[in-house]
Amino acid sequence: MNTYSILAKKRDGGTLTPDEIRFFIQGYTKGEIADYQASALLMAICINGMNADETSELTLAMLQSGDQADLSSLAGIPCDKHSTGGVGDKTSLITVPIVAACGGSVAKMSGRGLGFTGGTIDKLESIPGFRTALTVEEMVNYTNRSGLCICGQTGSLAPADKKLYALRDVTATVDSIPLIAASIMSKKLASGAQAIVLDVKTGSGAFMKEEADSVALAEAMVGIGKSAGRRIAALITDMDQPLGRCVGNGLEVREAAELLQGKSADDRLYRLSVELAARMLALSGLGTVEDCRVRAGEAVSSGKAFEKLCRMAQQQGGDPRALEQPERLPQGKFSRIIKAPRSGYLSRIDTARIGHAAGLLGAGRVKKEDSIDLGAGIIFARRKGEKLQAGEELCRICAGSEAGFSAAEEAILGGMEISDCSPVCKELIRQVIE
Ligand code: URA
């Protein structure tokens, strides 16, 4: 076996053996296989694909390239959720406290936002003092004490993915279902959860724009999870409009905290957060999905889930008062109202453009190293399908400086369509893959 023969085999549409996949990933991680050879393999996989066994082997090889979080000392079955990334998706801030309030155990590692999608770690860092750089030991201790902890991924988790992802980004090889599935699942499996719920987004603000591609990705990831012996399910959910009313880090924390306090709730955000929690609880063996759905709703209405969110903030050094007094969260000093240019129904939202607009305001990153404005973002007054008059408020933008306002306004108005006919709004939860 050698690198050249593996490349030639995949180039010609062959099926790689587990040994060949392991040889390649180990060699690449150690620096014994060059970037140009790894790029060639990635392109061959992009063009010729991988079958389910190859994809599982690739995931395991990437998983074994680094450390794996040992959650065996956690009480109960450690469960986790993962979203493939969307705009305004703050469900982790709501779902994780609900699961903890219902007796589940969530020791979660999350990522930062990149491109048009937001990241849970940036959102949490808008709570003054909140520490996201924890050791696995701290994560386990906090979860044993309170049922929940959310922190950043340690650098030693799936290093092969880190190297390969950087290469994919510059070689036009990101868009490949086996490569995406192996990348996501190697990190998820390495972070130690035994029960995993995947939220695979579909639509204009998702990585996968077409539902069939989202389903194929979900099936690949569920297959990988099962072959690794994990309990796993995936929801295919709508991302043809932002999730909830706010996009932007501090604003999204405020929206999540208000929902958990029963102050105001966007219906779609509430339903998805409760459904994800119910599925996590059911996979953890804590009841049927139907029972868990009822208990998840009660955890919100009783305020117990909000108490868990405050507890998590406090144990990770954050100021829990910021969750009840939103003026303690970062807020943009400047704001501008964007008005509807004509009357009609808000019929289409190019959600990726909304994510880009939030980035222009300073709420997101183009490169990993970019700093962000935690108080910047967009607050929507209207949702898809609603009727409005010319001159009515569509949304409000805010930031610490007005520098990005005109470009953001242009992106938002260019990404929204107002028409004479009421549009068909697709289901929020399209499918469940178990
Ligand atoms: N997110 C990941 O972690 N990996 C991919 O390949 C795509 C999205």
Domain that holds residue 273: 78-156+173-324
Can you tell me the distance from the alpha carbon of 89 to that of 280, in angstroms, rounded to the nearest whole number?
A: 17
Residue 262 in domain: yes
Residues 391 and 259 in one domain: no
Q: What is the Å distance from ligand 1's center to 182 Cα?
A: 8
65 lies in some domain: no
Determine whether 232 is exposed, middle or buried from the number of CB atoms within 10 Å of its CB (0-12, 13-18, 19+). buried
| Ligand 1 mutation target, pool 59, 82, 120, 165, most atoms within 8 A of CB | 165
Please indicate, yes or no, whether residues 217 and 148 belong to a single structural domain of this protein: yes
339 CA from centroid of ligand 1 (Å): 36
What pLDDT was estimated at residue 115? 77
Q: Do residues 179 and 261 share a domain?
A: yes
> What pTM did the predictor assign?
0.96
Nearest one of 404, 275, 391 to 334, comparing CA atoms: 404
From the alpha carbon of 183, which atom of ligand 1 is closest? 4
Closest to 278 (Cα-Cα) out of 244, 238, 307, 305:
305
Residue nearest to atom 7 of ligand 1 (CA): 180
Same domain for 128 and 29: no
Residue 424 covered by a domain: no
End-of-domain residue from the set 269, 292, 324: 324
* 118 and 257 in a common domain: yes
The answer to whether 372 and 251 are in contact (CB under 8 A) is no
User: Residue 184 Cα, ligand 1 centroid: separation in angstroms?
Assistant: 5
Domain membership flag for residue 434: no
In a domain, 144, yes or no: yes
User: Which of 305, 324, 343 is the endpoint of a domain?
Assistant: 324
Q: Check if 183 has its Cβ closer than 6 Å to any atom of ligand 1.
A: yes
Residue recorded with tokens 């009480």: 75
Asked whether residue 14 falls in the same domain as residue 117, the answer is: no
Contact predicate 67/157, CB 8 Å: yes
Number of the ligand 1 atom closest to the C-alpha atom of 179:
6
Whose CA is closest to atom 5 on ligand 1?
180
In a domain, 259, yes or no: yes
Contact between 418 and 345 (Cβ < 8 Å): yes
The answer, yes or no, to whether any atom of ligand 1 lies below 6 A from the CB of 180, is yes
One domain for residues 141 and 178: yes
> What is the CA 51 to chain-centroid distance, rounded?
26
Is the separation of the CB atoms in 112 and 155 below 8 Å?
no
We report the CATH number of the domain holding residue 22 as 1.20.970.10
Nearest CA to ligand 1 atom 1: 184
Beta bridge partners of 81: 197
Whole-number Å distance, alpha carbon 338 to ligand 1 midpoint, is 33
d(CA 188, CA 181): 10
What is the strand order of the sheet 393-399 is part of? 246-247, 377-380, 393-399, 334-339
Range list of H helices, 87-155: 91-101, 120-124, 136-146
- pLDDT attached to residue 264: 79
CATH number, residue 355: 3.90.1170.30
If one counts the domains in the chain, the total is 3
Of 324, 349, 374, the last residue of a domain is: 324
Claim to verify: residue 146 and residue 210 sit in the same structural domain: yes
What confidence score (pLDDT) does residue 145 get? 96
Judge if 246 and 194 occupy the same domain: yes
Residue nearest to atom 8 of ligand 1 (CA): 180
Statement to judge: residues 319 and 356 lie in one domain: no
- From the CA of 180, give the closest atom in ligand 1: 6
| Positions marked catalytic | 82, 161, 168, 183, 187
Please report whether residue 137 resides in a domain. yes
The answer to whether the CB of 184 is under 6 A from ligand 1 is yes
Q: Are residues 255 and 279 in the same domain?
A: yes
CA of 396 to the centre of ligand 1 (A): 31
Residue in 180, 187, 217, 224 to alter for ligand 1 test, most ligand atoms within 8 A of Cβ: 180
Residue 425 belongs to a domain? no
Nearest to 398, CA basis, from 427, 375, 368: 375
Burial of 52 (0-12, 13-18, 19+ CB in 10 A): middle
CA of 213 to the centre of ligand 1 (A): 14
CATH code at position 177? 3.40.1030.10
198 lines ligand 1 (CB under 6 A): no
Of 170, 184, 207, which is best to mutate to test ligand 1, by the most ligand atoms within 8 angstroms of its C-beta? Answer: 184
Same domain, 248 and 207: yes
Instruction: List, for residues 229-257, the tens digit of each pLDDT value.
Output: 999 999 999 999 999 999 999 999 999 99
Distance CA 225, CA 272 (A): 22
Averages of pLDDT over runs of 10 residues in the chain (434 residues) are 96 98 97 97 98 97 95 94 95 98 96 82 96 95 97 89 91 93 96 97 94 97 97 98 97 98 93 98 98 98 98 98 96 97 96 96 85 96 96 98 97 97 93 96
Identify the residue whose C-alpha is closest to ligand 1 atom 3: 184
> d(Cα 358, Cα 360) in Å, to the nearest integer?
5
Q: How far is the CA of 63 from the centre of ligand 1 (A)?
A: 14
Pairwise CA distance, residues 433 & 83, whole Å: 14
Interhelix angle for 249-260 vs 267-283, to 10°?
70
Nearest to 120 by CA among 108, 134, 136, 129: 108
